[in-house]
């Protein structure tokens, strides 16, 4: 070849393409990681297990509530606007919501196209102007909450059925009672007396039995005729299922999602675990409770029959994200041991509810 004569292009040697491929894939991965990550789409309400949570259940709003109570709505809105770039602190329902999202991540890995997921809806009677601070707080904690219902002072309960709500959690006992009266599973959530670490990878939900999962039939007999008559009644009706209580449907929804993990051979690694924690005695009245669940095609992973013993110490060992009970005495006992407890205002125990000053549960603010 003479000097200055152009070179002929060379054919790529063997392996040149395969050598370039890893470099291209590495570059593509690098730039994909730089791009903003797209959040998953919300499931359709009719396909999801919908959990409606009030703003005061999800976040701590003690100071804001004090201003609203003492100074009125205008000062309250002004304060919220002035502080809208300051995220709220997590409230009692916050760990529960984070656990729901952890389950969703596992479900999306196993069933990418399925909408059988938890869907969290923020339900509040706040003015829409306060929504900016709520949105900022949700983004600050990287929560996946796309659906909001802000009713500007009106009760949000009328919207719960439109959202296909499976469970409503609020710090407002009157709104919870209104939801229960409408046939919606609901509970007033209470902050624990002390913080206790809960699982980051497994959702744990504990239920009382009577007047929560089951009707209050048996509690009525205890109050009217005493324990001996109650034991006789339970023995005689052992094979007759109890009627359903307000949270039976929520346990059913949890069981449906559990079965999606079971079908993949993940029963022992299931990220949802349920507990029955009841004051019933196993020998004298436990069989009817278990047979009732079986007749519904339901089960709990663990069943703890305490025969009247305090529930708090057992709950401290379980460390559930939430515990549901119809009696404030048990709610207060759970709080003292660091458990997030929720009161279900249903059944005969509500007609003559009394709480001693030392056992008075403090609601979430």
pLDDT grade, residue 153 (50/70/90)?
A: confident
Three-state SS for 42?
coil
Let me know if domain 201-346 sits in CATH 3.40.50.1000. yes
pTM: 0.84
56 pLDDT above the threshold of 90 = yes
Distance, in Å, from the CA atom of 223 to the CA atom of 349, rounded to the nearest integer, reads: 9
Q: Take residue 300 and report the two structure tokens written for it.
A: 């709990």
Cβ 246 vs Cβ 186: under 8 Å: yes
pLDDT of residue 167: 98
Q: What is the CATH number of domain 47-188?
A: 3.40.50.1000
Q: For 156-184, write each residue's pLDDT tens digit.
A: 999 999 999 999 999 999 999 999 999 99
Domains 47-188 and 201-346 share a fold: yes
Domain boundaries, the chain: 47-188, 201-346
pLDDT value of residue 315: 96
Q: What is the pLDDT of residue 291?
A: 95
Residues 250-279, mean pLDDT to the nearest whole number: 97
Does the structure show a pLDDT above 50 at 30? no
Q: How far apart are CA 298 and CA 282, in angstroms?
A: 18
Surface-to-core class of residue 269, CB atoms within 10 Å of its CB (0-12 exposed, 13-18 middle, 19+ buried): exposed
For helices 73-82 and 131-140, angle between their N-to-C axes, nearest 10 degrees: 40
**Quick check: 159 and 137 in contact, CB under 8 A?**
no
| Phi, psi dihedral angles at 339 (to 5 degrees) | -100, 135
φ/ψ bin of 193: left (φ > 0), alpha (ψ from -120 to 50), beta (otherwise): alpha
Q: Mind telling me the catalytic residues? A: 208
Going by C-beta distance under 8 Å and a sequence separation of 6 or more, which residues neighbour residue 201? 102, 271
Structure tokens that stand for 172 in this block:
């407002």
Tokens of 180: 């229960």
């Amino acid at each position: 070849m003479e000097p200055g004569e152009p070179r002929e292009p060379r054919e790529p040697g063997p392996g040149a393409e395969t050598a370039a491929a890893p470099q291209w894939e590495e570059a593509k991965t690098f730039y994909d990681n730089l791009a903003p990550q797209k959040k998953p789409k919300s499931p359709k309400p009719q396909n999801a297990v919908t959990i409606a949570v009030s703003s005061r259940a999800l976040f701590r709003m003690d100071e804001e509530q004090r201003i609203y109570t003492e100074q009125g709505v205008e000062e309250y809105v002004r304060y919220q606007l002035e502080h809208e770039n300051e995220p709220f602190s997590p409230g009692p329902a916050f760990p529960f919501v984070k656990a729901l999202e952890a389950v969703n991540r596992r479900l999306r890995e196993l069933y990418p196209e399925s909408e059988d997921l938890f869907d969290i809806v923020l339900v509040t009677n706040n003015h829409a102007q306060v929504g900016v601070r709520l949105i900022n707080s949700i983004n600050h904690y990287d929560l996946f909450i796309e659906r909001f219902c802000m009713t500007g002072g009106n009760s949000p309960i009328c919207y719960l059925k439109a959202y296909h709500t499976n469970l409503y959690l609020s710090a407002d006992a009157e709104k919870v009672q209104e939801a229960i009266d409408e046939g919606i599973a609901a509970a007033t959530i209470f902050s624990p007396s002390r913080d206790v670490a809960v699982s980051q990878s497994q959702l744990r939900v504990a239920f009382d039995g009577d007047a929560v999962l089951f009707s209050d039939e048996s509690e009525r007999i205890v109050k009217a005729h005493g324990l001996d008559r109650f034991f006789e009644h339970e023995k005689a009706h052992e094979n007759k299922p109890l009627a359903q209580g307000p949270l039976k449907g929520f346990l059913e929804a949890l069981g449906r999602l559990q079965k999606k993990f079971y079908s993949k051979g993940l029963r022992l690694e299931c990220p949802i675990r349920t507990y029955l924690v009841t004051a019933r005695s196993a020998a004298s009245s436990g069989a009817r409770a278990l047979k009732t669940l079986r007749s519904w095609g339901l089960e709990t992973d663990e069943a703890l029959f305490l025969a009247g013993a305090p529930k708090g110490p057992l709950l401290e060992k379980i460390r559930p994200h939430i515990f549901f009970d119809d009696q404030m005495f048990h709610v207060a006992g759970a709080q003292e041991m660091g458990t997030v407890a929720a009161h279900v205002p249903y059944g005969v125990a509500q007609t003559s509810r009394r709480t001693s000053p030392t056992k008075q549960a403090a609601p979430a603010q």
